[in-house]
Amino acid sequence: MPRKFLRLTLALIIFIALAAPTLLAQSSRVISLTVDATQAPIKLVHSHIVMPVKPGPLTLYYPKWIPGEHGPNGPIASLSGLKFSANGKTTPWQRDLLDLFTFHVDVPEGADHLVIDFDYIEPTASGAYTAGASATAKLDVISWNQNVLYPTGTPADQLIYEAKLIVPDGWKFGTALPIANQSGNQATFKPVSLERLVDSPVISGEYYRAIDITPPGEPIHHEIDLAADSEAALAMPPELKAGMINLVAESGKLFGARHYRDYHFLLTLSDHVAHFGLEHHESNDSRLPERVMLEPTGAFSVGGLLSHEFVHSWNGKFRRPADLTTPDYEVPMKTDLLWVYEGLTDYFGPMLAARSGLWTQEQYHDVLASISAALGPGRPGRTWRPLLDTAVGQLRSGRGWLNWQRGSDYYDEGDLIWLEVATIINRESHGQKTIDDFAHLFHGGANNGPEIKTYTFEEVVSALNSIAPHDWAGYFREKLTSTSPDAPVGGIENGGWKVVYNERPAKVPGRRGGAGDAYSIGLQVGEDGSVMDSIVGGLAFKAGITSGMKVVAVNGRVYTRDLLNDAIKASKDSKNPIVLLVISDEYYKTCTIDYHDGERYPHLQRDDSKPDYLDDLIKPRASN
C-alpha cells in the first residue's frame, strides 16, 4: 500500500474510533414516534412517543409557532388524553401556568425513557392552517407538529426523531420524508431532525394518485401526490399536468438552482378540510375543493395556489428572514419582513403560473387589476395603517371592516411592489438585467438539499444594488410606511399598462376584498344578502350600511344577487336612487344610495405610449 493511502487509512481508523461513541450516543438519543392514523376517519390520531430522558425535572413543548403560519397557531386545543409513564408507572404532569403549550414532568429515579401517549382530535371547523380540518372519512393530512412533544434545551434541527406512520387499511400515502421501510399500511421513516419532520407532512387517502411531473432532462424528481374524497376528483386534465411540468421547468429557469432532493406537491381535494396552502422545503401542503380540477377554471385555481407554494421552497424556506428563523417552535417569530417572504412569493407565483401556461395572459392581467383595485384608490385603511404594520401586526379580526382595518396586505401589495422592482431593474440597467437575475443571485447557489440561508432588509437591498444600482432602501421605506390611500401601481404603469374600470366583469374570481360591488356602491354582499364589507366613506356606508347587516330587499323586491346587479346596471340611465332594505340587529332600515355610474369592474388597459414590459415578464423562458 502506498504511503499516502496508509496515512489516509490510519486517519480514517482514528476518525471512526473518535466518532463512534458520538454516533452511538446520538442513536441512543433518538426519539421514537409512532403516529397511528387508523382512526383518522373518526377524527382521532394517536401518538406514542418513547423519549430518552434523565431523572429529574423535564419541560416539554407542543409546537406553537409553526413555520409558514406566521403566528402562534399550533393546535394545542386538539391535544387530548395526554399520559406520561416511566419505569412502567404513570408519571404526573402539570401544564405551565403561563404557557398552555408547555408541560412539566418529574422523571423518576432510575428511568432512562419517558413514554408519552396522546390523541390529536381532528378539528371539523376550518381553523388556521394546521389547526384547520385535516381528516375526512376518506383522507388525512398528517402535519407532524400536531402529533409531537419535544424536550426543552435542544434546537429542533438537533433533535432526532424516528417516525412510524400507520394509516387505515387500503390507504396510500405521499410525502417528501425519506422512507426506511414500508409494508401494508405502515411506514417507518429514516431518522430525521424534528425540523425536517415538521417540514415534511404526509398526505394519505383511499382515493390517491401520484403523478410524475418531472420535465424532460430535469435531474430532480418532481411529483404531485393527490388525495381526494372521490376517485372522480383525481382526474387531472392533461392541460393541467402539462402546465405543472412547465411550472417545474420555469422555476428552474427563474432561480437557476434548486434546494431540495426531490419535490412533492401534496394536493388534498375535499370540501371537508380547511382550504389553504402551506409551504415546505421539499413539498407543499395545499388543499382545495374536491372537484376543483374538473372546473373550467381548474388550472387557474390549482396553478395559482401550487405555484405560490412551490416558489416558497426558494423564497421563505431556503432564503428566510433572519428574525423569522427560530431555533424551535416555542421562540416567537418577528414578521416584519413578510412583504419579502410572502410579497415576493405572491409576485413570483402568478408570474410563473403565467409563464408556464397555467394562467392565461388575460387572467394574469385581471388578477393584477383586481389586486390594485382592492388596495385603492380610496381604501380608507391605508390612511392610518402602513403596509409594514400589516406584516408586523398579524391580527385576525372578525368578519367585515377589512377595508378600514386592512388584512394581510403584504401578500397582494407585495405583488405590486415587486412588479415595480422588476420594472425598475429593467429601467436602471437599460434593459440589460431582469428580475430573473436577482432571483438567480438571491435564491441560487449550490443544491445542498434543504437548508436555510437567512437575510436581513439590508441584504435584500444589497443584492438588488448588485443587479441594478438604485435607492432601493429609500424605495422600500417609502412603500412600507406610506399612508397614501392609493395603491402602488407604478409597476403596472412602468410595464405599459394602467388600471381602468368598465362594465365587463373580470374573468377571474375576486381576490381579498376585490369581489362584489366594492367599486360601484362600495359594498360587498354575499349570496344571502349578508354584508361582508362596506367601504368606509363609500356611498353604501354613508347610507348607513356596514358589515354584519343583511340586505333583504332591492328597490322593494326580495334580495337576490342578480337583482342588486340589475339595479346597479340600471343606475346609469335612471334618476332614481337604489333603495336597499337592510336588517340591523333585528330592526329593518331603509337605506337610499344615490348612485348613477352603472357597473364598474377593474381591468388593465394598454398604454401605447410605453413598451409592453409587463407581458415580456410573463413570456415562457423554458423551451418545452
Cβ of residue 588: shortest distance to Zn ion, in angstroms?
43
Residues in 342-401 at the binding interface with Zn ion, rule: CB under 5 A: 342
Cell of 299: 388550472
Pick between residue 138 and residue 287 the one whose CB is nearest to Zn ion.
287
How many of the chain's residues bind Zn ion (CB under 5 A)?
A: 1
Pick between residue 162 and residue 342 the one whose CB is nearest to Zn ion.
342
Pick between residue 36 and residue 309 the one whose CB is nearest to Zn ion.
309
Binding to Zn ion by CB under 5 A, coded x per residue (else -) over 318-347, reads: ------------------------x-----
> How far lies 257's CA from each of 23, 148, 251, in Å?
32, 33, 9
Which CB contacts under 8 angstroms, 24+ apart, belong to 234-240? 234/207, 234/208, 234/209, 234/269, 235/293, 235/294, 236/209, 236/211, 236/293, 237/293, 237/294, 237/298, 237/299, 239/299, 239/357, 240/293, 240/298, 240/299, 240/302, 240/303, 240/358
Cβ of residue 308: shortest distance to Zn ion, in angstroms?
6
Cβ of residue 342: shortest distance to Zn ion, in angstroms?
5
Pick between residue 308 and residue 406 the one whose CB is nearest to Zn ion.
308
Nearest to Zn ion by Cβ — which residue? 342
Dihedral pair phi/psi, residue 402, rounded to 5°: -60, -35
Cβ of residue 279: shortest distance to Zn ion, in angstroms?
6
State the DSSP string of 4-66: HHHHHHHHHHHHHHHHHHHHHHHHHTPEEEEEE-TTGGGTEEEEEEEEE--SEEEEEE---S-
Cβ of residue 295: shortest distance to Zn ion, in angstroms?
23
Residue 76 CB partners (closer than 8 Å, separation 6+): 62, 64, 100, 101
Pick between residue 146 and residue 408 the one whose CB is nearest to Zn ion.
408
Cβ of residue 316: shortest distance to Zn ion, in angstroms?
7
CA-CA distance, 578 to 566, in Å (whole number)? 10
Cβ of residue 182: shortest distance to Zn ion, in angstroms?
31
Cβ of residue 268: shortest distance to Zn ion, in angstroms?
17
Pick between residue 229 and residue 342 the one whose CB is nearest to Zn ion.
342
Pick between residue 325 and residue 484 the one whose CB is nearest to Zn ion.
325
Pick between residue 285 and residue 342 the one whose CB is nearest to Zn ion.
342
Cβ of residue 350: shortest distance to Zn ion, in angstroms?
12
Pick between residue 342 and residue 533 the one whose CB is nearest to Zn ion.
342
Pick from 400, 410, 411, 413: which is nearest to 535 by CA? 400
Dihedral pair phi/psi, residue 476, rounded to 5°: -65, -40
CB 73 within 8 A of CB 128: yes
Pick between residue 129 and residue 601 the one whose CB is nearest to Zn ion.
129
Give the residues across from 286 on adjacent strands: 267, 277
For the chain, the distance separating the N- and C-terminal CA atoms, rounded to the nearest angstrom, is: 52
Strands (E), 398-508: 453-455, 497-502
What is the three-class DSSP state of 565? Answer: helix
Cβ of residue 452: shortest distance to Zn ion, in angstroms?
16
Residue holding cell 405590486? 416
Residue 31 CB partners (closer than 8 Å, separation 6+): 49, 50, 51, 52, 150, 159, 160, 161, 162
Dihedral pair phi/psi, residue 333, rounded to 5°: -100, 150
CA angle 271, 273, 276 (to 5 degrees): 105
What is the three-class DSSP state of 304? Answer: helix
CA-CA distance, 373 to 403, in Å (whole number)? 12
Pick between residue 317 and residue 603 the one whose CB is nearest to Zn ion.
317
Cβ of residue 345: shortest distance to Zn ion, in angstroms?
5
Residue type, 551: V
Binding to Zn ion by CB under 5 A, coded x per residue (else -) over 32-61, reads: ------------------------------
CB 283 within 8 A of CB 176: yes
Cβ of residue 277: shortest distance to Zn ion, in angstroms?
7
Pick between residue 70 and residue 479 the one whose CB is nearest to Zn ion.
70
Site residues for Zn ion per CB under 5 A:
342
